[in-house]
Amino acid sequence: MPTRSRDSRAARDQRISVRVSARQEQLLRHAAAAEDRTMTDLILDSAVQHAERVLADRRWFVVDDEQWAAFQAILDAPLPTKPDNRLVATLNRPSPFAK
């Protein structure tokens, strides 16, 4: 039996409804039965794993040595002596989070 993630043991107090075709439901039922799991566990674990991958792709970037060297060169380059007017305007704008 597959190991359950830490989140699958947490109390489930929210509901998500989805509509599926008869073929999709049958496929999910067969897959859940093949792993001796409930459809809820199968669907939820798959969806959470996919969501984690999607979000990781937006946080973790892989570059080759040449790209890394170019990135470091940009970081090490001296700052411009004249500030960018767009950046100054953005920094002077009131924060939407300040109340």
DSSP summary character for residue 30: H
6 secondary structure, DSSP code: G
Contacts of 32 (CB under 8 A, 6+ apart): 38, 39, 41, 42
How do residues 27-55 score in pLDDT, each as one tens digit? Answer: 999 999 999 999 999 999 999 999 998 88
CA terminus-to-terminus distance, the chain: 51
**Cα-to-chain-centroid distance, residue 20:** 24
pLDDT in tens, 63-84: 899 999 999 999 999 987 888 8
What is the model's pLDDT at position 1? 45
Global pTM value: 0.51
